[in-house]
Structure 1
Amino acid sequence: MPLLQDQGFAQRPAIAKEVVFDDRGRTGRRRPGDPGIANVMVSNGRDIVRTAADGSWSLPVAEGDSLFVIKPPSWTTPIGFGGIPRFSRLHQPHGTPGDIDYRFAGVAPTGPLPASIDFALRRQEERRDFEALLFTDTQPENAVELAYLRDDIVAGAIGSNAAFGINHGDVMFDDLSLYERYLDILGTTGMPWHHCPGNHDINSEASDDRFSRETWKRFFGPRHYAFQYAGATFVILDNVAYLGHNPGSATSGQYRGMIGERQLQFVRNLLANLPPDDLIVLSMHIPLVTYHSPDNPSDTTVDRRALMELLSHRQHTVSFSGHMHMTEHHYLDAKEGFWGREPHHHHVLTAASGSWWSGPNTPNGIPLAHSCDGSPNGFHVLSVDGNKYSTRFVPSSKTPAAQLRIFVDGPHRRIGGEAGRNAAAVHRSLHQIPADAIEACEVVANIFDGGPRTRVAFEIADVTMQRVWMQRAASVDPFIVDVFAAHKAALKSWVEPVPSSHVWKGRLPANLKPGAHRVLVRAWDEYGREHASHMVIEVTARKSNSPV
């Protein structure tokens, strides 16, 4: 395996300097009367300094480095096309290397380091309590799927009160020519947007990791950085380490989840500049850990322990990722290097594209796109109040605004074999149960954003005297098994049901009498909020081997 290079280049660093200033004229350029701003953090992606009383700063910068201001609370940077914050300057005098035949254009030569690099900030009001939108894996493969993203996800985010959004990567599915149209669409939300690079956002022709984000830098800026909003600090990381396009090598075209020493040092220096009680929010593409493939270095972050050790002395931390097209909650403790009083919460977010924009078409012409673990595609909302946080799941625009799906699973649903699983038969069989099959039937609940701390119970009116607590089961969602089986031709070739981390099961009482029964399922999610859903089941006198 080739050695992974640092994201900066190896040349002797120069010294960059100048001022962070109050852009009173909102022009982005310093004018007479625009004062410098003291005590603002500025970074080269590794080192961090604070501005002097007059707003001045200086930092070493090597070819390939990005210099950026870390937006402080109650200030904002200018906002560019698509809601992209303008807060950085790339130092790449010769631009993207010309000896690589890139499919998508990289960065133009930036020329020699200018004598002055000024960063503009503008005052803004920031409430202690605020919200942010969390997208991941928007991932359109072509122009048609980008239209799905527009209508199914972006349109649903318009009108939100969120202060900003973060896309956790795989913005595209390899076709980076779609970035410009994506940003044009995203800009309609009217809010700033931050982005983490994903493995499908790579310039795959690059021979190593250093030059794998040339198109990314042109549209989105630095590969990693930080910003503050109210009392919270947000850290954007690139934990996709590309092993390079090297024909003949066993690792050619592969990647692994790794933060790397440069970004770890950046986080270390950042934390040293922050009050101990601040909320720290980290965003990345590849999960720190995952239930689905816990030993796969392409699906987990191999140096996560180093990150957890840095965060261990902090009481208020949370991290988010995507990549898996599944929804997961993890609580990392000493086994993963986190020594804090409470485990570190790592949330793997629901993919906006779900099953990669595939599945049967819905009435509005957009694929159903349910994820392989049974969740609808959608996004999340992060709510912050001081150093406290919570999240909530928002299903896509075409999906009912539900937080759970409930049904009864048992032998009555499998009559006729897989070939008989047409949609109408599946629906009829969900809640119509032969009396002699009751003992083999279970209430199944998919709590779309559920996790280890979620509790689920059901009640049957006039039958159960108290709640029947259900058990979390690492199993495939039977509903999604049926949907995928009935629409194989509409799915992308790799899409198949996978064990879900948010399915609960509970055995039906054996004493259910023939007739209709009202079932109530209640769920208390990771934050203790209650969600509920009803269904009506019919117990019939027919035999379980009779046709539906």
Structure 2
Amino acid sequence: MAESERSGPSRRDVLIAAAAGGAAMALAAPAGAAEASAAAATSAAAATSAAGVTGVVFESASGAARQPGDKGLAGVLVSNGREVVATDSDGRYTLPVSDESVVFVIKPAGYMTPVDPVTQLPRFHYIHQPAGSPAALGLTFEGIAPTGPLPASVDFALKSQEEPKAFEVVLFTDPQPESDAEVDFIREDVVDALAGTTAKFGLTAGDIMFDDLSLYDRLNRIIGTIGIPWYNIGGNHDFNFEAPGRKYSRETFKRVFGPPHYAFAYADAVFLMLDDVEYKGTNPAKPHGAGAYEGRLDPDQLAFVKNVLAAVPQDKLIVAVLHIPLQNYLDDQGPDVNLTNRAEFFALFEGRRFTVSFSGHTHTTEHHYFGEAEGWPSPVPHHHHVLTAVSGSWWSGPYDHRGVAVADSRDGSPNGFHILSIDGNSYTTRFVPAKEPNQRQVRLSVDSRFHRADKEVKRDFRPGQLLSSPIALAAVPATTIIANVFDGGPKTKVTMRIGKAAPIEMTRKTMPDPFVEDVFARNEAVKKPWIKAEPSSHVWVARLPATLGPGTHRVTVEAVTEYGGSVSGTLALEVA
């Protein structure tokens, strides 16, 4: 997009236009899928790109194409992925566009866009790409078909809906199937578990696929059976790898889902759905022709976020969703696993007190808190939550009784997903493990050097019991109880109690979970070759009291979580 085309309305104009309206708050960004264009093109006459795009956002009684009596909505935000404008008193907007633009409406609170009845994908955008995806790219997966001339009016339908201030959202990241069999795993492991959910919508924070974008349609149909609108952003495995860089790297994603980055509002929360994976082109050293990339928000996205936030009151909750984390514990410097321009992103949130962000990518579960020392420009620290991958260890491991890979994550968490609970501008999350009995949130292991020796001489342990009891009385002083609090973080406090004795404070320790080390070691044949146990950020340890005598003891570990709630785990410890 040329610099002259980026001029658009000033930030002051955006604020004035928003104040003049009243439909609600919303967010948006470049959208994709011409066939899903919002109720678009009310006239056959074509406007030129140089003149920009104009249209109407209207309240639709039918939820579809504009009918007589459907009135325009004032104050609704519309964007081209960079500029953000509010509709006037008649619901009309005008935006600059290039010959490769996505125009979209930012869903305001109290309204909903059309939703595909099969996939439940929201349709809130119009792709303007007259020539389509360049044929010279030789895309493996279908991109954008030529959209032709820009319609005289690109209109967006909204239908009013009730939005309670307290609601829930399903949070997925990295379902990442690379075959139809792994799509089966997603269906059996997490989709069926969400039947009857009361969540208002769901979202996936990238790596929807593992390179094979032809599987989008099948997976989307399966996710659609959950029965709630589902929003998506792309990850580093959702690229068109034939693209030379960021431009054209999301052609298939745009065709299927819409804009690579966008925003929307629900009740008192505004969701920023961002694409922070900067594609660098094909890397011959990587498998499957995969490309090099880094965590980066491009200038258009930074401008988009700035322009959206300018129209959002300070008392609203801002929820940012990215694929690559703001930071991670495995490698806090690597450009491919951290947002490299985090400081620029943070600067956009000056003075905001109500924020949270989510990411995926690392297949670990992490909580980070950024304060003034880390460049966060607000007295209230920013909470960043790296979500558990739906695919865990990329669908590695032995199969359960259903034939689904156990897929324990490399930091010891089970594979699964999270539920975000929002009430006004406050929030909590909870972890939903895919396979743990009774939704267990804490797994306890017994680690003893005597156990290690026993394994060396191939003592007859049952599978899964190599880090449990019985232990010899002489081994008690050298035995450690290890608690993996699956969704634990820096604020989590953990104690251990043996029988009715006083609780013992456990120590957070960065270390691989020996349980998952053992699982991986015993299942090399069904493990992806790059998988290994990695240091976990949510493991706590405590030595057994040297005075513990023989017998069977009840060990209870209780964790006070990041949000002040409580989760616990127990084991029957046998001392011979």
TM-score by length of 2: 0.89
Report the identity percentage. 48
* 2:49–2:96 contact (8 Å) kept in structure 1: no
2:523 paired with 1:483: no
* 1:326–1:350 contact (8 Å) kept in structure 2: yes
CA distance in 1, matches of 2:189, 2:518: 23
Q: 2:446 aligns with which of 389, 408, 426?
A: 408
Cross-structure match for 1:501: 537
2:422 paired with 1:388: no
What amino acid does structure 1 have at the position aligned with 2:232? H
Distance 1:126 1:252, change over 3 A: closer
Cross-structure match for 1:230: 267
Q: 1:140 aligns with which of 170, 177, 184?
A: 177
Deviation for aligned residue 1:417: 4.2
Deviation for aligned residue 1:253: 2.1
Deviation for aligned residue 1:398: 6.7
* 1:318–1:346 contact (8 Å) kept in structure 2: yes
Deviation for aligned residue 1:426: 5.3
Deviation for aligned residue 1:247: 6.6
Cross-structure match for 1:328: 366
Deviation for aligned residue 1:438: 1.0
Matches for 1:257-336 after TM superposition, within 5 Å: 257-336=295-374
* 1:304–1:336 contact (8 Å) kept in structure 2: no
Per-residue CA deviation, residues 24-58 of structure 1 (Å, 9 max, x unaligned), is 123x2111110001110111111111111110110
Matches for 1:201-220 after TM superposition, within 5 Å: 201-220=238-257
* 1:73–1:229 contact (8 Å) kept in structure 2: yes
Most deviating of 409-418 and 35-44: 409-418
* 1:518–1:537 contact (8 Å) kept in structure 2: yes
Per-residue CA deviation, residues 173-210 of structure 1 (Å, 9 max, x unaligned), is 00000000011101101100000100000000111210
CA distance in 2, matches of 1:437, 1:199: 47
CA distance in 2, matches of 1:280, 1:168: 16
2:574 paired with 1:529: no
Distance 1:513 1:126, change over 3 A: same
* 1:421–1:486 contact (8 Å) kept in structure 2: no
Matches for 1:13-162 after TM superposition, within 5 Å: 13-26=50-63, 28-80=64-116, 81-162=118-199
Deviation for aligned residue 1:312: 3.0
2:401 paired with 1:341: no
What amino acid does structure 2 have at the position aligned with 1:277? D
Which secondary structure does the structure 2 equivalent of 1:105 belong to?
A: coil
Which secondary structure does the structure 2 equivalent of 1:82 belong to?
A: coil
Distance 1:272 1:421, change over 3 A: farther
CA distance in 1, matches of 2:555, 2:290: 54
Distance 1:111 1:523, change over 3 A: same
2:550 paired with 1:514: yes
Distance 1:439 1:155, change over 3 A: same
Cross-structure match for 1:182: 219
* Runs of at least 5 residues in structure 1 that lack an aligned partner in the other structure: 1-5, 541-548
Per-residue CA deviation, residues 339-376 of structure 1 (Å, 9 max, x unaligned), is 21121000000000001111011111111100000000
Deviation for aligned residue 1:309: 1.5
Distance 1:301 1:415, change over 3 A: same
CA distance in 1, matches of 2:208, 2:456: 36
What amino acid does structure 2 have at the position aligned with 1:225? Y
2:445 paired with 1:369: no
Cross-structure match for 2:292: 254
Distance 1:54 1:200, change over 3 A: same
Distance 1:398 1:408, change over 3 A: closer
* Runs of at least 5 residues in structure 2 that lack an aligned partner in the other structure: 1-5, 7-28, 31-47
CA distance in 2, matches of 1:313, 1:189: 38
CA distance in 1, matches of 2:164, 2:152: 37
Most deviating of 452-461 and 308-317: 308-317
* 1:364–1:398 contact (8 Å) kept in structure 2: no
Distance 1:377 1:429, change over 3 A: closer
CA distance in 1, matches of 2:184, 2:535: 30
* 2:170–2:203 contact (8 Å) kept in structure 1: yes
Which secondary structure does the structure 1 equivalent of 2:133 belong to?
A: coil
What amino acid does structure 2 have at the position aligned with 1:469? E
Deviation for aligned residue 1:431: 2.0
* 1:243–1:252 contact (8 Å) kept in structure 2: no
Which secondary structure does the structure 2 equivalent of 1:270 belong to?
A: helix
Cross-structure match for 1:163: 200
Most deviating of 12-21 and 87-96: 12-21
Deviation for aligned residue 1:219: 0.4
Which secondary structure does the structure 2 equivalent of 1:216 belong to?
A: helix
* 2:393–2:409 contact (8 Å) kept in structure 1: yes
* 1:407–1:431 contact (8 Å) kept in structure 2: no
Number of matched pairs: 529
* 2:447–2:467 contact (8 Å) kept in structure 1: no
Deviation for aligned residue 1:14: 3.8
What amino acid does structure 1 have at the position aligned with 2:152? A
What amino acid does structure 2 have at the position aligned with 1:388? S
CA distance in 2, matches of 1:315, 1:147: 42
* 2:114–2:158 contact (8 Å) kept in structure 1: yes
CA distance in 2, matches of 1:429, 1:211: 50
CA distance in 1, matches of 2:439, 2:285: 50
Which secondary structure does the structure 1 equivalent of 2:564 belong to?
A: coil
Cross-structure match for 1:544: none
Most deviating of 259-268 and 404-413: 404-413
CA distance in 1, matches of 2:215, 2:456: 39
What amino acid does structure 1 have at the position aligned with 2:86? R
Deviation for aligned residue 1:534: 1.6
Deviation for aligned residue 1:63: 2.0
Which secondary structure does the structure 2 equivalent of 1:83 belong to?
A: coil
CA distance in 2, matches of 1:254, 1:495: 20
Cross-structure match for 2:388: 350
